[in-house]
Chains A and B, each alone.
Chain A
Amino acid sequence: MGHEGIGASVRRKEDLRFLNGRGHYTDDMNRPGQLYAYIRRSDRPHARLGAIDTAAAKASPGVVAVFTGADMAAEGIGGLPCGWQIHNKDGSPMAEPPHPVLATGKVRHVGDPVAVVIAQTRQQAKDAAEKLAIDYHDLPGAAGLREALAPGAAPVHDEVQGNLCYDWHIGDKAMVDAAFAGAAKVVKLELENNRLIPNAMEPRAAVGDFDPMSGDYTLITTSQNPHVIRLLMGAFVLHIPENHLRVIAPDVGGGFGSKIYHYAEEAIVTWAAGKLKRAVKWTAERTESFMSDAHGRDHISTAELALDKDGHFLALRVSTLANMGAYLSTFAPCVPTYLYATLLAGVYKTPAIYAEVKAVFTNSVPVDAYRGAGRPEATFLLERLVDVAARETGIDRVEIRRRNFIPNDAFPYQTPVALQYDSGDYTATLNAALKAADYAGFESRRAAARARGKLRGIGVSTYLEACGIAPSAVVGSLGARAGLYECANIRVHPTGSVTVFTGAHSHGQGHETTFAQLVHEQLGVPLDQIEVVHGDTNRIPFGMGTYGSRSLAVGGSAMVKAMDKIIAKGKKIAAHLMEASVEDVEFKDGTFTVAGTDKSKTLTDISLTAYVPHNYPIEELEPGLEETAFYDPKNFTYPGGCHVAEVEIDPETGVTSVVNFTAVDDVGRVINPMIVEGQVQGGVAQGIGQALLEHAVYDSAGQLLSGSMMDYTMPRADNLPNITVGTESTLCTHNPLGVKGCGEVGAIGSPPAVMNAVVDALREYDVRHIDMPATAPKIWSIIQAGRPRMAAE
């Protein structure tokens, strides 16, 4: 269809309310008689909980109730469930200790919720919470991976001696060992993937309410997946059946993964609302976000690559330690396994891969998926390793990549680590990115920078990711305790306007626009007559929500299926009205026609007939024009591409600036190019943040040192360059739209491109590898310590 359908940069429908301050975020919502909750959190990394004296808090002005973990336990409230079970090398299940809503027995990280105070106002609740006297008996703690695994380390959970959550592996070890034994060259690299704090700009919030007449609970929450929260909280924590629990995720101010999980505060406000028969609101202060939102990344790895004499990759061996934090967050166990190790083939035809992953409990905030989740860690490891291999074999960095790419005629391509890629053209994205970045002209820019006293470097990363998660049977066999289909309901109203009810959730992605474009394309309805509804379990049949770049590939495909059903039914009605046989009815651009005649009926004629069925095949067909579809994907989708970063380092200060950044991605079919470009730019900004600025730092005992925006460096406008984005698409072969997903590519491809550029800029110094973030003090020290190498490179 014309300029509003697939491929058009339609301006966003949702913008008007956001630009006028009329969005509806959770903290904007208030219920009659609402009370306010304040959560007192542990300031200790690890301690036994003694008595909690609540008397002074309860007597404080405005206080209605104070609850502790003991109060919840007394009512049989369950712990927060984990949605994915990983098995150890020996087949036994991972350690899965309880995750109480409010701490009982021990506190295990700074930020662990200990008690909740509920009062008439926010300030009264906060004032009273300071009067709680909590008896802590400190225990030794460890937030770091090596420290928590060290012999004699204090167990975070008494029942998990040694702090090992699981010891998992994938791939053919014997084949890999044999390949290494016969290799001409082996390259080895130790690397860390820095711990990050997602910091969506909207802090988490939750409002619980209860209607004593109906027994209905309502939870309004900052979630990426309200149906998942209803299922987890209703079934496992509070034991409320679905028909009595409504979860609303209204406008949500960014998620990036951190708002997928079922958090304690959601259960606390819902349960407290039921007990007090009043609405209860909780809104995180940013300081609480730092110590209670799930963190991301935090790996330590050893990677080895075996090559033949011509630089072909023969085998890859990886050993990784992954931080789980103090408790298992909802999807934490799958991140360093099935979202990480299965991606270690990258875009390369490495025939043998073996990876082992140890997941570790530490006295730190739980770690779970953050934009990219596992795939950025795999990509950083691989793309740094390839650059080091190029340097140590003397083969050009771009050439060694080309030499090892999976060729275009190899699809579908089965990797040695479980995934089967459906499509891609890695040479095309590489060529387009090098051209757009003027890679060929770089050396003159390096020389010009040199003349200005600056060290300039360029870095390339060619990456791939798996998203559009995921086939239910496959993930089920890998330990998921959920299916990962999506649901859509399409309602064509009597006068022809359309409402789409989607199980996906938009928290910045622009679904209200992109999804409307899909409907416009397929049904021919004008955009302004299409409304997209998301984020309410009472309005939408079901849904698995938005994460893993799945909304269009899975949710969009469900919409296509539902619309196929609408068209099929519409054809029957049209055939009846036009006295033709159904096989002769065609549908295009919103109009039903009979082949070889000039007879036609618009979709509006048909919808009106469907709801006013006077002249209607009522014996064979039900009235109405509304269809629901569930779509279960057949495979993951595999976006990929090439990112090129150009940096300049000021040797006087060690400050690194990204001066040019080019991303050329294959995201499959593009529905709205403007939105895709924005998604990639935002992802790249987070990737540059990881590479240069961001780091969640704990001291050795487990105190969070980077606990506010004054200590944790968020990328600001003057830290970032313009970000040039291009697409070079091959179509996904197994979903009806040919789409792959674009939400995470920016954060996945960019960190190694930046770090490869930083190492390149420092090539006169003896630098082989630098871990992220490349902060000014780190780079300055390297420059001070490094002796410029004698040999000209």
Chain B
Amino acid sequence: MPQVSLTVNGTQHTVEVENRTLLVELLREKIGLTGTHVGCDTSQCGACVVHVDGTSVKSCTMLAVQAEGANVTTIEGLAAADGTLHPMQEMFREHHALQCGFCTPGMVMSAIDLVQSHPEGLSEHQIREGLEGNLCRCTGYHNIVKAIAAAWPLMHGKTMPAAAE
């Protein structure tokens, strides 16, 4: 069986996998990080989103062997060691952007990438389009959109440009 070495949330792992093992299976079953979820089998729901080298990726759509040498961040790796939440986590809580919590890890990881990749600001329309790849059955997205808009200034350290609002 092939081996893959990668860094997950700052910790180095080397694990044996099958050729067909998916990155999400490696995370959940080989190294026990069950925060990343599987909600579908057609790459539609986004419950499995993690960051690979800083970019959001559907971990059900990437083979574990493709992550050789990669730096992976999962939902478990977001909060600081002392438990301080990432601003996106904090705003999800503040704005009641989660109910059952199943879509939440993928939603938060996608949202962080969305905000990071839009330093010029994000309109509500852009946020809604940016969430195309993530399904939530509970919230109706209203509060998720609000939480992401509220996290933008916290992550960029400035107020959202007026034009984007």
List residues of chain A with CB under 8 Å of any chain B CB.
Answer: 11-12, 14-23, 25, 27-28, 123, 199-203, 251-254, 256, 285-287, 507-510, 674-675, 677-679, 681-686, 708-710, 714-718, 720, 722-723, 746
The 9 A-B pairs at the shortest CB distance, nearest first, are namely A21-B35, A253-B102, A18-B101, A685-B140, A508-B100, A21-B75, A508-B99, A28-B34, A709-B44
What is the CA–CA distance of A720 and B33 in the complex, to the nearest angstrom?
A: 32
Check if A21 sits within 8 Å of B99, measured CB to CB.
Answer: no
CB-CB under 8 A from B36, the residues of chain A are: 21
Identify which of B51-59, B63-71, B86-94, B151-159 touches chain A.
B86-94
CB-CB under 8 A from A200, the residues of chain B are: 100, 102, 137
Which residue of B33, B36, B104, B140 has the most chain A CB atoms within 10 A of its CB atom? B140
CB-CB under 8 A from A286, the residues of chain B are: 39-42, 45
CB-CB under 8 A from A20, the residues of chain B are: 35, 75-76, 78-79, 85, 89
Extra A-B contacts (4), CB below 8 Å, given A718-B129, A746-B140: A18-B101, A201-B39, A679-B99, A684-B140
CB-CB under 8 A from A682, the residues of chain B are: 99, 137-140
Check if B102 sits within 8 Å of A21, measured CB to CB.
Answer: no
Check if B132 sits within 8 Å of A19, measured CB to CB.
Answer: no
CB-CB under 8 A from B39, the residues of chain A are: 201-203, 253, 286
What is the CA–CA distance of A256 and B102 in the complex, to the nearest angstrom?
A: 14
CB-CB under 8 A from B124, the residues of chain A are: 722
Q: Determine whether B135 belongs to the interface, using a CB cutoff of 8 Å to chain A.
A: yes
Q: Determine whether B6 belongs to the interface, using a CB cutoff of 8 Å to chain A.
A: no
Q: Determine whether B160 belongs to the interface, using a CB cutoff of 8 Å to chain A.
A: no
Check if B141 sits within 8 Å of A720, measured CB to CB.
Answer: yes
Chain B nearest CB, measured from A754 CB (Å): 13
Check if A23 sits within 8 Å of B101, measured CB to CB.
Answer: yes
Chain A nearest CB, measured from B31 CB (Å): 13
Q: Determine whether B120 belongs to the interface, using a CB cutoff of 8 Å to chain A.
A: no
Which residue of A21, A252, A253, A674 has the most chain B CB atoms within 10 A of its CB atom? A21
Interface residues of B in 124-156 (CB under 8 A from A): 124-125, 127-129, 131-132, 134-145
A29's closest neighbor in chain B, by CB?
B34
Check if B42 sits within 8 Å of A718, measured CB to CB.
Answer: no
What is the CA–CA distance of A11 and B20 in the complex, to the nearest angstrom?
A: 42
Chain B nearest CB, measured from A509 CB (Å): 7
Check if A685 sits within 8 Å of B141, measured CB to CB.
Answer: yes
CB-CB under 8 A from B47, the residues of chain A are: 201
What is the CA–CA distance of A507 and B144 in the complex, to the nearest angstrom?
A: 18
Check if B128 sits within 8 Å of A718, measured CB to CB.
Answer: yes
CB-CB under 8 A from B94, the residues of chain A are: 11
Q: Determine whether B108 belongs to the interface, using a CB cutoff of 8 Å to chain A.
A: yes
Check if B143 sits within 8 Å of A718, measured CB to CB.
Answer: no
What is the CA–CA distance of A679 and B96 in the complex, to the nearest angstrom?
A: 10
Check if B143 sits within 8 Å of A681, measured CB to CB.
Answer: yes
Enumerate 12 A-B pairs (CB-CB under 8 Å) in ascending A order.
A11-B96, A18-B101, A19-B104, A253-B39, A508-B99, A683-B140, A714-B137, A718-B129, A718-B132, A720-B141, A723-B142, A746-B140
B21's closest neighbor in chain A, by CB?
A123
What is the CA–CA distance of A646 and B137 in the complex, to the nearest angstrom?
A: 22
What is the CA–CA distance of A684 and B141 in the complex, to the nearest angstrom?
A: 11
B93's closest neighbor in chain A, by CB?
A15
Check if B99 sits within 8 Å of A678, measured CB to CB.
Answer: yes
List residues of chain B with CB under 8 Å of any chain A CB.
Answer: 18, 20, 28, 33-42, 44-45, 47, 74-76, 78-79, 85, 89, 92-94, 96, 98-105, 108, 124-125, 127-129, 131-132, 134-145
What is the CA–CA distance of A253 and B99 in the complex, to the nearest angstrom?
A: 9
Chain B nearest CB, measured from A769 CB (Å): 26
Check if B37 sits within 8 Å of A253, measured CB to CB.
Answer: yes
Check if B141 sits within 8 Å of A717, measured CB to CB.
Answer: yes
Which one, B42, B45, B141, B143, contacts A201 given CB within 8 A?
A: B45
What is the CA–CA distance of A287 and B128 in the complex, to the nearest angstrom?
A: 26
Check if A507 sits within 8 Å of B139, measured CB to CB.
Answer: no
CB-CB under 8 A from A28, the residues of chain B are: 28, 34
Chain A nearest CB, measured from B77 CB (Å): 9
Check if A19 sits within 8 Å of B139, measured CB to CB.
Answer: no
A14's closest neighbor in chain B, by CB?
B101
CB-CB under 8 A from B132, the residues of chain A are: 716-718
CB-CB under 8 A from A16, the residues of chain B are: 93
CB-CB under 8 A from A18, the residues of chain B are: 98, 101, 104
A203's closest neighbor in chain B, by CB?
B39
B92's closest neighbor in chain A, by CB?
A19
Chain A nearest CB, measured from B132 CB (Å): 6
Check if A251 sits within 8 Å of B143, measured CB to CB.
Answer: no
What is the CA–CA distance of A199 and B100 in the complex, to the nearest angstrom?
A: 13
With A18-B104, A22-B35, A722-B142 in contact, is A123–B20 under 8 Å at CB? Answer: yes
Which residue of B38, B40, B124, B132 has the most chain A CB atoms within 10 A of its CB atom? B40
CB-CB under 8 A from A685, the residues of chain B are: 139-142
With A11-B93, A722-B142 in contact, is A256–B98 under 8 Å at CB? Answer: no
Chain A nearest CB, measured from B72 CB (Å): 13
Chain B nearest CB, measured from A455 CB (Å): 21
Check if A678 sits within 8 Å of B93, measured CB to CB.
Answer: no
What is the CA–CA distance of A247 and B18 in the complex, to the nearest angstrom?
A: 34
Check if B41 sits within 8 Å of A717, measured CB to CB.
Answer: no
What is the CA–CA distance of A23 and B10 in the complex, to the nearest angstrom?
A: 21
B124's closest neighbor in chain A, by CB?
A722
Check if B18 sits within 8 Å of A254, measured CB to CB.
Answer: no
Check if B140 sits within 8 Å of A201, measured CB to CB.
Answer: no
Check if A681 sits within 8 Å of B142, measured CB to CB.
Answer: yes
With A685-B140, A723-B142 in contact, is A674–B96 under 8 Å at CB? Answer: yes
Check if B137 sits within 8 Å of A199, measured CB to CB.
Answer: yes
With A21-B75, A718-B128 in contact, is A201–B103 under 8 Å at CB? Answer: yes
Check if B135 sits within 8 Å of A202, measured CB to CB.
Answer: no
Check if A254 sits within 8 Å of B137, measured CB to CB.
Answer: yes
With A201-B136, A681-B139, A685-B139 in contact, is A25–B144 under 8 Å at CB? Answer: no
CB-CB under 8 A from B18, the residues of chain A are: 123
Which one, A11, A123, A254, A674, contacts B102 given CB within 8 A?
A: A254
What is the CA–CA distance of A199 and B78 in the complex, to the nearest angstrom?
A: 28
CB-CB under 8 A from A14, the residues of chain B are: 101
CB-CB under 8 A from B127, the residues of chain A are: 717
CB-CB under 8 A from B140, the residues of chain A are: 681-686, 715, 720, 723, 746
Check if A251 sits within 8 Å of B135, measured CB to CB.
Answer: no
CB-CB under 8 A from A720, the residues of chain B are: 128, 140-142
What is the CA–CA distance of A22 and B134 in the complex, to the nearest angstrom?
A: 20
CB-CB under 8 A from B38, the residues of chain A are: 27, 203
What is the CA–CA distance of A681 and B138 in the complex, to the nearest angstrom?
A: 8
Which one, A12, A21, A123, A678, contacts B139 given CB within 8 A?
A: A678
What is the CA–CA distance of A286 and B42 in the complex, to the nearest angstrom?
A: 8
With A19-B104, A201-B45, A254-B102 in contact, is A25–B137 under 8 Å at CB? Answer: no
Chain A nearest CB, measured from B158 CB (Å): 24
B105's closest neighbor in chain A, by CB?
A21
B129's closest neighbor in chain A, by CB?
A718
Check if B42 sits within 8 Å of A256, measured CB to CB.
Answer: no
CB-CB under 8 A from B101, the residues of chain A are: 14-15, 17-19, 23, 251, 253, 508
A23's closest neighbor in chain B, by CB?
B101
Check if A12 sits within 8 Å of B96, measured CB to CB.
Answer: yes
CB-CB under 8 A from A199, the residues of chain B are: 137
Check if A716 sits within 8 Å of B135, measured CB to CB.
Answer: yes
Check if B105 sits within 8 Å of A718, measured CB to CB.
Answer: no
Chain B nearest CB, measured from A58 CB (Å): 22
Check if A19 sits within 8 Å of B85, measured CB to CB.
Answer: yes
CB-CB under 8 A from B98, the residues of chain A are: 15, 18-19
With A15-B98, A720-B140 in contact, is A709–B45 under 8 Å at CB? Answer: yes
CB-CB under 8 A from A252, the residues of chain B are: 100
What is the CA–CA distance of A34 and B58 in the complex, to the nearest angstrom?
A: 27
What is the CA–CA distance of A375 and B70 in the complex, to the nearest angstrom?
A: 51
What is the CA–CA distance of A716 and B136 in the complex, to the nearest angstrom?
A: 8
CB-CB under 8 A from A507, the residues of chain B are: 100
What is the CA–CA distance of A27 and B28 in the complex, to the nearest angstrom?
A: 10
Which one, B108, B125, B134, B137, contacts A256 given CB within 8 A?
A: B137
What is the CA–CA distance of A681 and B144 in the complex, to the nearest angstrom?
A: 11
Which one, A23, A123, A717, contacts B144 given CB within 8 A?
A: A717
